[in-house]
Amino acid sequence: MFDTSAEFYDAIYGVFKDYRTEADAIASRLRRENPRCKKVLDVGCGTGEHARLLGEEGFLVDGLDVDANLLRIAREKHPAGQFHVADMSNFRLSRRYDAVVCLFSAIGYLKTLDRVALALTCFSEHLAPGGVIVVEPWFVPGALDEGRVVRNACDLNGTHIVRLGSVAVEGRLSRLRFDYEITDARGTRRTSELHELGLFSVAELTALFEAAGLRVDYDSKGLTDRGLYVAVKAA
């Protein structure tokens, strides 16, 4: 999925994404929901930046992602964690966690409500008693601007990377196209990636949490104005 951009991922998002502030907010929320929270599973963890920062906050953080290229980077930056290559809608780990978090809209990559339902069941099954689930969603239907093109640029070890991002929507699926221009001492090369994420309404996701036996609270602002779901097992 991130075959082109894994090595540039942190450099690109580090330009505009405030991982530190997000990790601080997640840490505070986890401690508020479960004062004994210690063990955390970061699902869809990517390169492990949230995992690393939550580790600095004193949590014991493991990670899970479907992309082995991203997990290679995560293992390097957060060697204290165990990282697993797995589909978030179908995984079985031997550990149970005080919290399962799924951030930066990774849940959208499941594309369909059926797969989200499976994922929430997996999350719940990996919770220790008193555990909490935190999910940062992708956008709701109708919220994306299909005419917008976003340009990001960064430099990494003598390489200049420019990424142009655009989005198209077909029904309940959004398709993000990233076009890269990568320039180093050897010259310039161009490549592209296509990412597909499902568009789910607040009502639909809330219903799925409840169907999984979870009591959920929805914060419309969340970490990055995309919203945030915080859930615990219903009594």
Q: Backbone phi, then psi, for 203, in 5-degree steps?
A: -60, -40
Question: 3-class DSSP state for residue 24?
Answer: helix
Which pairs count as long-range contacts for 82-86, CB under 8 Å and 24+ apart, including other chains? 83/45, 83/48
Question: 3-class DSSP state for residue 194?
Answer: strand
Which candidate, 20, 73, 209, places its Cα nearest to that of 227?
209
Q: Rounded to an integer, what distance in angstroms lies between the CA atom of residue 209 and that of residue 102? A: 14
- Neighbour tally for 67: CB within 10 Å: 20
Provide the residue ranges of all domains of the chain, joining segments of one domain with +: 6-139+200-233, 149-198
Tell me the chain's radius of gyration from C-alpha atoms. 18
Q: What is the pLDDT of residue 4?
A: 83
Q: What is the pLDDT of residue 3?
A: 80
| Architecture of the structural domain at 6-139+200-233 | 3-Layer(aba) Sandwich (3.40)
Q: What is the pLDDT of residue 234?
A: 85
Q: Rounded to an integer, what distance in angstroms lies between the CA atom of residue 112 and that of residue 55? A: 32
Q: Rounded to an integer, what distance in angstroms lies between the CA atom of residue 52 and that of residue 227? A: 23
| Architecture of the structural domain at 149-198 | Single Sheet (2.20)
Residues in the chain with pLDDT values less than 70:
none
The 8-class DSSP code of residue 229 comes to E
